[in-house]
Structure 1
């Protein structure tokens, strides 16, 4: 958390506001997960051409180079329009400001697992290091059921863990993996290699369905997530299993169970997800 729907919802909330903006100043506070890689003063005067997303990274394309932003475990971005009054003072957990002539982009990250990294191009070594291991985008046309099944056949780990790893398909975080596996009727502890082609196809469709609905809902807000203009997500109200341990399954009425996989909480219905 934040996962693909939250990162994409964040991007959509400020991409039109910042596109074309000129950087007036840049400030970095306490060290983040990785160093910026450039003197922040060297960003001054550059223009923001646009904002892309790759997995859970936001890529701010500049007229010279790009910035790769990652929100980590608890980070969030805010964008305050230049015309807005009363920009709040920096707080203890504000660690990066990008002041432009159209507004202020600010990274808040209580746990400092996020990052802002500069690269001179998409082909720079740091860009390759951060992005090359990412799997296919689940909402793109390149994410097809046959290739997904072929990749799963090579993995003996539990299917939930394979989804979270991000090298087969990217961005299916803890919440959405539990929800997609429930929708597909697949036990989260089942070895990925044991999924038949029809069951992998059901999971493929479930991943696209769950992520699509989550994005439409603006993501999930469990604690303090909001997009760059302060809007909270609402997918938590649609969740069928996540966070509902002990409550009755919406399909069969049996209680939702909670187990731990790789130190992450997994929610499922033992009756609806037998194998």
Structure 2
């Protein structure tokens, strides 16, 4: 599933081609996404102008001159541009025909994504209202995460991946940030010092920013909004490297399961 760096990469890729564009028409070929697409979505969007392209957590938000369109890429969703005459494939579910003559196309083989119309303030939407702060914002700090962890017995990795605590630190980047900070992923969240949480937040920000700069991490399905894969996979220190030498001390990396997710760490460097 695309995580925050991948979604931010898509946002950066499509934004220059969408800003101030008028949506001339919308073609919906299949409404059966994770949540059904509104039958009257083409009527709601026709003639609207795109004023902004934002991201909240893993959701893209197209700000129109009235209302918003919220897009989630799910497991295999992609947004990309095609010439207007390009025939649609079997998994090409929605087209937005723009004033520029280009078409923004949404394709999703697994149909786990979503295209949702929001008439009110997006942050009040049920999918967004309870989300934690953005990980690259000043609201996500070591002091904040330390306070969130007080009295918690859950593994620190689970805390870091809780979207009510902080959004967008998915499995890949949680593994990498914990390694960078030298913290075992299965350590009880409430037993970690404030100083170590400050190191973990700094590591999380550094890992996410580097992944964004390199266009995300392509493992299977992800392709950025510019049609190119992400290259952060080449920078991974622990994720997907179980049994291989730790890049710092050469100890074989260990893999465990936490909350049904693959978790790799160095038993020597992380404590």
Give TM-score, length-normalised by structure 2. Answer: 0.93
- Structure 1, unmatched stretches of 5+, are none
When structure 1 is superposed on structure 2, of 23-32 and 44-53 the one drifting more is 23-32
Other-structure match for 1:76 = 78
RMSD value over aligned CA atoms? 1.7
CA distance in 1, matches of 2:134, 2:151: 19
When structure 1 is superposed on structure 2, of 131-140 and 92-101 the one drifting more is 92-101
Other-structure match for 2:112 = 113
Q: Deviation string for 1:8-37 (max 9, x for gaps)?
A: 010001101111111122122141111234
Alignment of 1:172-187 (within 5 A): 172-187=169-184
Check whether the contact 1:153–1:195 (CA below 8 A) recurs between aligned residues: no
Q: Deviation string for 1:74-105 (max 9, x for gaps)?
A: 2221123xxx5863x32222222222123222
Other-structure match for 1:259 = 256
Other-structure match for 2:95 = 97
Other-structure match for 1:9 = 9
Matched, 1:139 2:156: no
CA distance in 2, matches of 1:203, 1:5: 18
Check whether the contact 2:153–2:189 (CA below 8 A) recurs between aligned residues: yes
Other-structure match for 2:185 = 188
Check whether the contact 1:184–1:199 (CA below 8 A) recurs between aligned residues: yes
Distance 1:140 1:243, change over 3 A: same
Classify the secondary structure of the residue corresponding to 1:25.
Answer: strand
Other-structure match for 2:20 = 20
Q: Deviation string for 1:165-201 (max 9, x for gaps)?
A: 2111110011000000000111111111111101111
Other-structure match for 2:47 = 45
CA distance in 2, matches of 1:144, 1:184: 14
Q: Deviation string for 1:102-157 (max 9, x for gaps)?
A: 32222222221110000112168xx5201012111011122222112111225321
Q: Deviation string for 1:224-254 (max 9, x for gaps)?
A: 3111120111100000001111111100101
Other-structure match for 1:164 = 161
CA distance in 2, matches of 1:40, 1:111: 21
- Structure 2, unmatched stretches of 5+, are none
CA distance in 2, matches of 1:200, 1:41: 47
Give TM-score, length-normalised by structure 1. Answer: 0.92
Alignment of 1:224-263 (within 5 A): 224-263=221-260
